[in-house]
Structure 1
Amino acid sequence: MKITVIGAGAIGGNLARKLSAAGHDVQVADARGPEAVPAHVLEDGARAVALDAAVRARDVIIMSIPFDRVPELAGPLAHADEETVVIDTTNYYPHLSGRIEAVENGQVESVRNAELLGRPVVKAWNAALAETQRTMGMPAGTEGRIALPVAADSPEARRVAMQLVDDTGFDPYDAGVLADSWRQQPMGPAYCTELTLDELPAALAAADREKDARVRDSMLERFATLGETPTREDVVEMNRAAHR
């Protein structure tokens, strides 16, 4: 597939490398220009391109930018083909973006983003740590393979995103429509807890919006108890413990 990743940080960089290694035609765009894309992100064949050229004639566009910057992509994405699948990897954390009233009042994060962008989006890759995505991908069929939820209103767009999740080394799970994607947002039982395909459905079903928001808002306090250099395992265990 022809894929553009917008954002070259930890998540976007991981996806660019993994999808390139899987054989896809990958471009990477950064709002600061092609020169801002780190060299290591391009080591598996991805190409750095200007943002205004990155959205045209692409099968998939993946947004891996801070949640509060999503509105900035409405202009560029207006030039993308109507059939292009747009995948949203963002997460809302008030301590990073500031409190956004629409979300605080109950609007689902990716539903908000779709409205701001003026086009449908798929929610994927948001529910795993960057380090999990970088190091824990496994071939399909491997015992204990981590599963990631994928939500979208379009069954075809969901199918495309699920195939790409598989290509990055994780079992894709059909998490239903976009309005239900709050179940995979911070800090629910399915968020960054490294569950298998057998375990993930129950975790999504156990999500509680009020409780999960409280857990999310206490994250910095809990994270501080892990010490100066917490491991991936430390963070995953912290997230799991919040729902025991």
Structure 2
Amino acid sequence: MRIGILGAGSIGSTVTRRLSQAGHDVKVANSRGPETIDSSLCEFGARRVEANEVAADVDVLITSIPFNKMPGIVALIEVLSAKAIIIDTSNYYPHRDGNVPVVDAGQVESGWVSEVLGRPVVKAWNAITAQSFATKATPSGTENRIAIPVAGDDAVGRDVAMRLVEETGFDAFDAGSIEDSWRQQPASPVYCTDLTREEMPAALAAADKTSVPRIRDLSMALLIEKTHSYTKTGDRFGDWLVEFNRVIYM
């Protein structure tokens, strides 16, 4: 499969490595130019390209960029074929992205992304920490394998995204439509809590749409304060972060 990945940060870089290792034809781009992308991302054959090349002639485009940067890529995706699938990994954090009034008023994050891009999107890889994603991949069938929720309106697109999630080392869980994807947004019970496929249904059902934004903002304020001192201890930050999320979100 021909895959373009826009964004070479913590999630985008791991997706690049895993999908190229799985045998896909992968190219990756960022906003600063291919020479700024770590060459180690190419160890399994991925190619670093300019941003205006990443969406050309691909079957799947994975956007792994900050939420507030989405309007800026509209021109880049004009070259996408009508059949190409867009997978959105972004999350909305007002303290980082600035306020998006329609999302603050209740519009689902990836619904806004789809509206801005003028294309359907599938939401995946947004509900796992960068640390867990990079270090906790396991083969299919492994006991207590971590699951990643996938939401989308198009059955074909959702199925493709689920297959790719599996190839990155995690169980893919069908989380329904984009309108339902608020259940995997920041501060929901499935968000970065390293749940298994068996634990996923109850956690998705337990999400409360009215409280998620408030908990998100409160937890981020606390997290920023706590991680300032925690990172000086040398402990395993990734595991600590998952435990923090479990306490606050579940």
TM-score interval (norm. to shorter): over 0.9
Compare 164-173 and 215-224 and name the one that shifted more.
215-224
2:4/2:26 contact within 8 Å kept: yes
Q: Deviations over 1:129-151 (max 9, x none)?
A: 01111000100000000001000
Aligned residues: 244
For 1:159-170, list aligned pairs within 5 A: 159-170=159-170
1:234 equivalent in structure 2: 240
Task: State the SS of the aligned residue for 1:209.
Answer: coil
**Structure 2: runs of 5+ lacking an equivalent:** none
Determine the C-alpha separation between the residues in 1 that align with 2:131 and 2:246. Answer: 16
Q: Distance in 2 between matches of 1:145 and 1:42?
A: 27
Which segments of 5 or more consecutive residues in structure 1 lack a partner in the other structure?
none
The within-5 A match list for 1:48-197 is 48-197=48-197
Shift of 1:113: 0.4
CA RMSD of aligned residues (A): 1.1
Q: Work out the CA distance in 2 between the residues paired with 1:219 and 1:41.
A: 32
Query: In 2 relative to 1, CA 33–243 (structure 1 residues): closer, same or farther, beyond 3 Å?
Result: closer
The code of the aligned residue for 1:232 comes to G
Q: Distance in 1 between matches of 2:107 and 2:239?
A: 32
SS in 1 for 2:215: helix
- Kindly indicate whether the alpha-carbon contact (under 8 Å) linking 2:219 and 2:248 is maintained by their aligned counterparts in 1: no
**DSSP-derived class of the 1:61 partner:** strand
Q: Distance in 2 between matches of 1:146 and 1:65?
A: 23
Shift of 1:22: 1.0
In structure 2, distance between residues paired with 1:115 and 1:234 = 36
Q: What is the CA deviation profile of residues 154-176 of structure 1, one whole-angstrom value per residue up to 9, with x for unaligned ones?
A: 00000000000000000000111
TM-score by length of 2: 0.95
Q: Does the C-alpha gap of structure 1 residues 28 and 243 become closer, same or farther in structure 2, counting only changes over 3 Å?
A: closer
- Cα separation, 2, equivalents of 1:89 and 1:150: 10
Question: Aligned in 2, Cα 1:220/1:176: closer, same or farther, shift over 3 Å?
Answer: closer
Equivalent residue number for residue 19 of structure 1: 19
Cα distance in 2 for partners of 1:85, 1:38 equals 26
